[in-house]
Structure formats: structure tokens, C-alpha cells
Amino acid sequence: MTNPSSPLFNPITLPNGVVLKNRLVMAPMTTCCGFYDGSVTDNLINYYRERSGSIGTVIVECGYVDALGPAFPGAIGIHNDDCIEGLSLLAAAIKERGSKAVIQIYHGGRMVEPQLIGGQTPIGPSAIAIPRPNATVPVAMTAGEVEDMIGKFGEATRRAIAAGFDGIEIHGANTYLIQQFFSPHANQRQDKWGGSRENRTRFPLAVLEVSRQMAQKHATNEFIIGYRFSPEELEVPGITFDDSLFLLDKLAQVGLDYVHFSMAATLRSSIIDTSNKTPLIDKYMQLRSTTLAKIPVIGVGNVVNRADAEAAMAHGYDLVAAGRACVAYPDWTERIQNQNDLQLSINSDQRAKLSIPEPLWRFPLIYSMVREINTKKFHAGSYQQTVNDDFDNTFVINVELGQDFIKDLSLVNAEQLDHVSVRNFYEIKERILAANSPYVDAISGATSQCDAFKKAVTKAISTSYKVATIVEGGDADDKSCDVVVVGSGGAGLAAAIEAHDKGASVIIVEKMPITGGNTNKASAGMNAAETRFQQQAGIIDHKEWFYNETLKGGKNKNNPQLLHYFVEHAPAAIDWLDEKGIQLNNLTTTGGMSVDRTHRPSSGAAVGGFLISGLLKNINDRGIEVMLDTSVTEIEMKDGRVNAVMVCDEEGTEQRISTKAVIVATGGFGANAQMVTHYRPDLADFVTTNHKGATGSGIALLQKIGAGTVDMNEIQIHPTVEQNTAYLISESIRGGGAILISQQGKRFVNELDTRDKVSNSIIALPEHYAYILFDEQICTQNKAAETYIGKGLAVQAATLAELADKLAIDPESLINTVERYNQYVKQQHDEDFGRTTGMRHPLNQPSFYAIQIAPGIHHTMGGITINTNTEVLDTNAQIIKGVYAAGEVTGGVHGGNRIGGNAIADIIIFGIQAGDQAAAYAKKH
């Protein structure tokens, strides 16, 4: 396919003689949709097949070469021969369309999180953690293990050949293991594998050499071997650009077919010497050796249109790779050949048509493209903001806004900060710019800093809106909308989305610096009966069962009208989420439920973060304004109905928002110790699982205008809370088959009885604590377990006897207890405590884990009185016009005890109803 008008479509011959039909490459982007064992899925094969054909080369995302090597969930493996069959289908799908198929090979090293490898400690060149908060210190590899690892890279190459790939790309970038060996920060060894720069090149050179040997033995001369590198590191001491040129020259002397820059932009300049704006590719072309000049070079980053790719080639790249553009446009090559003006956006109903796997769809850099045009305009300009994190670090950030997009972010005081903070800023900056929104996922281990960075952007946007209003002749201190939503947890976000979709203009007001509230902490799932996902799984369930079990669990104190509405509308709420791209199709059970009706993500991940991430994407899509660090101080009434709300931001600036309706979704009061003990003095010494914003402020706000309350003394304690961290151990672990044991090594309760009964049984033990015990099988089926292990909450052992020894429990007692329970599992009859659910398999798969737990304050069942329209009722049970409430701020749904999985159902079901009713009310008035 020769096109004389553009070099992009001309062929290129690699050093090994292979001819690539054009200069365009599909960049390797992790999709996170491999099976738990690293094998290839049909979704993955279809994804690559659809993007193959016209593009010259497809580089498949990295495959880990060792079981301790995956650096992200859903990674694909190339670590054993069982992987070959699936990989061969993947290679064939690409090649049959006419593209070359290359696969990356890598090991994550110290970048691997323990929860991804069953709680084990990751490995690295030296026992030096990546400089991020709470990073795990890796185990330093022995010299023998280094040699073994080189062999594993060689075996991975052999498997790539056996699977039919045209080549491999050795992944020496992104701070993974190969780069760690070359890094003076990560590698401080004193043997031949570390120390001098020369010695630090040994490992990448050895990997290249063994890969070449395997190719010579098992492949033809046309097998491609490339190398990806990150040109600089922010670590101190870190890899410099001169270091990279030194390494690449050594690799070129051994023999390479290409080198591949790993950067966010093809024309990026130095991240170390930020005063020098010269693109690194220009420096590379000027300084590379004669040997290295013979090796083609690939550029990647921000390549969308033909002009982007041609500009990259004009600076010296021989090939140009595109990532997100290939995701959005499977036929990207044809489109740029026709010089189409492409935008990085995807219609929200196009995922299946574009063969984008569900996990990839949810990546911040991908789902940020799935949005409608934001009709609200910024006032273009630069806005400087000063923010602080929880550790008293101060960040001065310039936020540059265009008319309808976030143009750029810069860290003004970078020179005064440590390199970890600077690196975190650059990483979150990329996410914000890609999403065109501050509502993006935080960096693991750096939540506080990320919240500060995002806060700077939200403050800048808020300021720009005010300026835009003034420029247009309006009053910046007088905002207006149809519906104000107070609170940005699951109920508030669902209400805002629904109200917007029913035609209302919406503003969300959130007193905390981040969105999500207590929903962020939710782990189990969402209960619903008679759903299509249950039907697909062959699960027989009835709404009547759901109603009766919730009523029984609530001690018959539930409001019957609210409970009927809750049960009847739960399946529709599951479908509503699915329509919004939030699919909860994995089923488990919780205490008090008789069947699997707890819906959660297919990955088994905690439902809360998954839900908030999906809802925020929908908020971004709709351009709904979110005012963070802002409290509603008063709901203004006029002529017996809502007229406005008064708000105050963190700097004390007050503002009035004229509105027709208010939805209060501020959550409960589980973090307000004074309020809790006022209603329940017996809970004075209990830890709480609630986030610090759960103070009951919404209840007080509504009581000011006469709202009534119900069940305020009904406060739930959750039975399984790790006491040192107040970290809740999800009910889904017990639903997956875990048991509770006492310090005597005995079971003492039906683990899936209602929360109040299980909690009381733990409190009744002499020690007032117990252990939740599970095995490797439960761990592999529930990602929450991996999180607990990774956070160091679990004691791990290879045998039950070893576990008993670590817990100071009599081994014989523990072994007998587990064997007795396992027998009950086989016969599906618990003779001791009558357990009937969650008995999925015997506890017999090493490793074994135990987490010490005791009850903690978890949920406040009482709150504001509402009816089934979510209208707030006053102390005389009369409707307060224009005022609605949903979620934990309300009372009546759960009665005297909440069933696990019913909170998420509550916030979504009644959040949707509140949004619908408030929008209808605003339209009438």
C-alpha cells in the first residue's frame, strides 16, 4: 500500500530482512481481560482481530514470563506451555488479517502488588521499594534467581515462536523488572548484576541474548526482536537520557530489529531537565551512535490524526504507534489514509460494536473518551491554585483551560518537592487531560496527593465558570438550576444522572474534597431478586423471598411500603446500571439471604469503587457540575416550597443557588461518635467503618425545615472489622465459603446469619474477637481477599497446623474444626449451626489465611422519614414540597438490621426514584 503523498504508508525493511508493509503500529495497551490464570479470552482475540489488517504491525500487550510477574489484574501470561494454545489463536487472528503479530514479554518486579500474586512479596534486583507511599519492599533476587529469570525470558520467547508470533518486544520500560536492573535507584547490588553502569546493562543484554538464541534455535531469520525503553527516570538516582543511549548502543551491538520509545507523547521533552524543551527524539537523532542509527525507532504517544504521525516521522521516527486511536477506531489506518479529522471519542453504545473488552472500556484513559460534548463552557485562561495534601505538602498548580477542555496542568513549585510527588503529579495529569475531567481514579498508594491535584482542577474550573458568568453579564454569586443534589455517594450520583436524563439541569454539592462517600468503601454487592443475570445463571429466586428475608433480617421493623418498593424495583435498578455501562453480573450471597442474589462485578472486585467509577463516568458524560469542598448550610423555603440553597466553600465564601428541588443524599452518621452515642450509649468504644464525612449533616439540615426522623437508635455493627485499621472484611468472603473461628479454634455461629446475630456471637466470646478463615480457592474467586492480603491484614500459612501455630490456637482443635466443616460442605448440611448458604467447597486448598476481626459501627438504619416517592415528610408526616432524600440519610427501609448487599440496592433504587421525582416536580414548577 504505497502512498507517495505520505511516508506513513511506505514499506520499511527491518535489519533482519523482514518487510513491514507500512510505518504504522498498534501500540501495546493492557486490556486487563485475561483469565485469572493468564490465559487468553475470546474478547481479547476479537479485540485484536478487529484492529488488524491495514495496520502494518500489531504489538500485543505484555505477557508475564513468571507467575510472580503480573503487574496488573487480568494480565495475560506467557509463563508456561499451557499458555501457547490461547496465544496461538491470538497470533493467528492478527496474522490472518495481514498484519505482523508481535508480543511484549515482561516481569513486573517490584511494581507487582502482593494481592496480584496471592499475597506473596514481589521480587526485584534489590530490596528497595518503588518510592511511593505504602509500596512493598521487594525481596532481593539471588544470583541464581537472576540466572533463572533470564532463562524464563528465553522460554517466553520460545513460547511466542511456538504460538506463531512474528516477533517479541522485550519490555525494558515503565519501571518493570528489566528497567529496574538498569536503574541505579532500583538496582544497588554489589555483584556482577549491579553497581557500575556497565554491570547494570548485563541483565537486559542477557535477556536479549537468550531471546536471540531461542529465535535462532526455534524460528527463522525473520523473527523480529524489538526493545522498548523509558528514556528517563524521575527517581534519584535515576536513569538519564545518556544512560539510555549507552544501553541502547550495547543492545544494538548484540542485534535488534527496532527500539521503541515509551512516552506519553512522541515529541515529549525531558522530564528531568524541564527547562529544556527539545524533544527527546531530536536529542536521540543527534547523539545516537553509528551502530544505533541502523536500528529503526518507534515513537508513541498522542498520535491520533495523520498529521500527528507525519510530524513524528519528520522528527526522525521510522515507525509510529497509536494506542487510544486504535481503540476508538479499529480501522484507524484507513481513516488517516483518507485524512479524516479524528476525535478521541466513542459513543457510549458502541463498546460491543467496536469489540472493546469490558475491562479496557473501564480504563480511565479509555472511558474518558466515552462522553457527550459538555455544553457548559469554561472561560479560557490560566488559573493558579494552591492546595495541600494530608501530609501538609503544598502544591502550586497552574490549570490552563480552553473553552471546553482542560488544556494543560503544570506544577509551579516542582523544584521544592520530592521526585515521588512530581512523578505522581505527571501521572494524574495524564489521566485528567485524557478524561477532560478531574474525576479520575487516584494512583494506588498516593490517594491524598491525587485528591489535592484533582482539587486544584475543580477549583480552577469553578473559578472559570464564575468568570464566564460575569463576562456574559450575569451574577457569579447567584447560580441557578432545576435540581440541587446534596452529596456525591452512590445515591447522589444516581439521582443526578436520572434527573439530568429526565430533562433537569443539575448541580451536585459535596462537602468532602472527593466524591463517592461511604459507597467507596462498599465491598459485597447489590441485592436484587428475579434479575436477568440470575436467570442466565439458572438461579431461581422470587421477590417475595427477598421481601420476607429482608423483613425478617430487619426484625419486622421495616416500613412495608418502602420495602415493597425496594424489592419490586431492584431488578430494574440492576438494568439501569447495566444501561449506564456498570454491569453487576457476578452473583454471590450474604448473611440472611437464602440464594445468590448479591450482584457484583464480573471480576469479583469490591462493588463500591467499581460503582463510583462507573457513575462518575456518566457524570462526566453529561457535564454535570460538581462543587467539592462545599457545604449546604440552609435550604431556603418560600411559600411552603423549596426556593434556593445556601452553600459555603472551604474558604468561607457563601453563595446562593436558586433551585426548584433539592435531593439530600448525604449518607448516615456512623462517623459521628457523639451522635451515635446519643442514640446508643452502648456503642461508645466501637471503631467505625465509615468515612469521615458520614456525620449526619444532611439529617440536621433537613430537621431545620421540619423533617421527621425514624428508627434513629437502630445502628448496625458489622461483625467482621479489622480493628487496627477499621477495615471492613467483606461479607462476600463468608459468602464465598469462609468460616469464623474462635481463639479456641472452634466455630461458634452460622457465619451467614444476619449481621446483628453474628456480631453478638463474637462479642459473647471471652476474647470479644474471632478470626475469619479462608483458603486459596476463595482468594482466587474474590479480589477483595487479595486486597486484604496485600494490605497485610491476613496471616498466611501453607498448612492449617502452621496457621494455628501463628495464631496461638491448638492445631488439633483447628484441624478438627475445618475437617468437620468440610464434611458438612460435602453433605451440604451443617449439623452444628444450620448454615445453608455459601457452602461452596471444602476449605482444603493451600495457602490458608486468617484475619482477626471484631464488630465495628457500620450502618445507621434510621434517618429522615420519606415516602415511596422519596419525598421528605415533616414531623406530622406531611410532604415538604420540593425536598427529596435517598440512601442512608433516610430511615425505614432496613428496619432494625440491614442485610449485606441491601445498602447498594437502597442507594441506587431510591437514588433513581429521587432523580425522577425531583425532575418531574421541577418541570411542573
Using DSSP's 3-state secondary structure scheme, residue 648 falls into strand
The 10 Å CB-count burial string (b at 16+, else e) for 714-749 is bbbbbbbbbeeeebbbbbbbbbbbbbbbbbebbbbb
Type of residue numbered 304: V
Q: Where are the alpha helices (DSSP H) in 490-537?
A: 490-501, 532-536
Q: Is 195 left (phi over 0), alpha (psi -120 to 50) or beta?
A: left
Which phi and psi (to 5°) does residue 349 adopt?
-100, 15
Q: What are the b/e assignments for 545-555, b being 16+ CB within 10 Å? A: bbbebbbebbe
- Report long-range pairs for 305-312 (Cβ below 8 Å, ≥24 apart): 305/336, 305/340, 305/341, 305/342, 306/6, 306/8, 306/336, 306/337, 306/339, 308/266, 309/8, 309/23, 309/24, 309/336, 310/6, 310/7, 310/8, 311/266, 311/267, 312/266, 312/267, 312/281
Cell of 280: 527527546
Do 314 and 6 meet the contact criterion of CB atoms below 8 Å apart?
no
Mutual angle of helices 560-579 and 902-924, in 10-degree steps: 90
Question: Are 256 and 227 a contacting pair, CB within 8 Å?
Answer: yes
Q: Which of 332, 842, 925, 295 is nearest to 660 (CA)?
A: 925
- DSSP characters over 411-470: ETTGGGS-HHHHHHHHHHHHHHHHHTSS--PPPTT-HHHHHHHHHHHHHHHHHHHHHHHH
Q: How far is CA 682 from CA 290, 678, 679, 719, 722, in A?
A: 78, 10, 9, 16, 20
Query: Is residue 667 helix, strand or coil?
Result: coil
Peptide bond into 237 cis (omega under 30): yes
- Whether 755 is catalytic: yes
C-alpha cell recorded at residue 711: 428508627
Q: For residue 863, how many other CB atoms are within 10 A of its CB?
A: 30
Joined together, the cell numbers standing for residue 156 give 517466553
Interstrand relation of 24-26 and 19-20 (parallel, antiparallel or unpaired): unpaired
CA proximity to 771, closest of 850, 699, 715:
850
**627 by DSSP, 3-state: which?**
strand
For helices 84-95 and 42-51, what crossing angle results, to 10°? 20
Extract the runs of DSSP E, i.e. beta strands, from 792-899. Answer: 795-797, 848-860, 863-864, 871-873, 879-885
Are the CB atoms for 230 and 186 separated by under 8 Å?
no
> Residue 549 belongs to what H/E stretch?
helix 543-553
Distance CA 750, CA 761 (A): 10
- Bridging pattern class, strands 381-388 and 319-322: unpaired
If you compute the radius of gyration of the chain from its CA atoms, what whole number of angstroms results?
29
Q: Which of 362, 755, 835, 898 is catalytic?
A: 755
Sign of the alpha-carbon torsion through 809, 810, 811, 813: negative
Q: What is the side-by-side strand order in the sheet with 526-527?
A: 526-527, 598-600, 586-588
Task: Please name which of 550, 495, 513 lies closest in space to residue 528, comparing C-alpha atoms.
Answer: 550
Helices 419-435 and 447-471: crossing angle, nearest 10°?
50
Residues 6+ apart with CB under 8 A from 340: 305
Residues that are catalytic: 755
